[in-house]
């Protein structure tokens, strides 16, 4: 297993990194996610959905993370998104 984002300071940026991973490696799951969530990336000048899209609910990033984790392909552990073989004892 390995981390796919080192943006520990921004969970919104982590969500975008995880969505980008899905887009590149699992396009079907990414398409389903993108159809459910209008914003799965942030503009290059922002790291928080609240700054980039002020009209969004403050919980948007958390909902996006939950949806990404629901794919079963990415999970958050120790504040970072991970992929790969997950040890059953850790699950």
pLDDT tens column, 57-77: 999 999 999 999 999 999 998
Contacts 24+ apart (CB under 8 A), 23-28: 25/73, 26/71, 26/73
In percent, how much of the chain has pLDDT > 90?
68
- Predicted local confidence at residue 10, as pLDDT: 86
Between 45 and 50, residue with greater pLDDT: 50
- Non-local CB neighbours of 6 within 8 Å, separated by 6+ positions: 80
- Predicted local confidence at residue 88, as pLDDT: 54
In percent, how much of the chain has pLDDT > 70?
92
**Is the Cβ–Cβ distance between 17 and 2 less than 8 Å?**
no
Q: Please state the rounded mean pLDDT for residues 40-59.
A: 91
**CA torsion, ordered 41, 39, 29, 6, to nearest 10 deg:** 30
């Amino acid at each position: 297993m390995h981390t796919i984002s080192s943006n520990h300071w921004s969970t919104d940026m982590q969500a975008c990194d995880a969505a980008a991973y899905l887009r590149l490696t699992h396009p079907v799951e990414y398409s389903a996610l993108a159809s459910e969530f209008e914003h799965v990336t942030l503009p290059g000048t922002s790291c928080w959905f609240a700054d980039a899209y002020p009209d969004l609910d403050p919980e948007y990033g958390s909902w996006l993370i939950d949806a990404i984790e629901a794919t079963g392909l990415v999970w958050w552990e120790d504040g970072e998104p991970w992929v790969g073989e997950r040890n059953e004892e850790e699950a």
